[in-house]
Amino acid sequence: MIRGLLIAFAFFSPLFFPVGFVGVLTFLAAIFSPLTPLAVGLMLDFLYYSPGAYLVPFFTFIGLLGAIVATLVRRFVETSIIR
């Protein structure tokens, strides 16, 4: 229950909190669900998009990088605990 609540809170936090706090919540939620950073990054790009400001979706790339790191860390932690 707490895991799902944390993931939902991280997903809706861009609507209420500044980007730094959103990053911390997303990092904490990525421990439980590795795809959370990618979803939050997409949401941040949709919220803060302004034409001509930048050519690449900056927050989506950061979210993708966070999702890859979270997946690798989660896989490493699960295999080291099982041994």
Integer CA distances (angstroms), 65 to 1, 4, 6, 30, 80, in order: 27, 22, 20, 12, 23
Domain boundaries, the chain: 2-82
What pLDDT sits at residue 63?
Answer: 93
CA dihedral sign, ordered 25, 45, 68, 36: positive
The pTM (predicted TM-score) of the whole model is 0.82
pLDDT of 60-80, one tens digit each? 999 999 999 999 988 887 766
CA distance 13 to 23: 9
The token pair that represents 41 in the structure block: 């990054």
pLDDT of 26-63, one tens digit each? 999 998 889 999 999 999 988 888 787 777 888 999 99
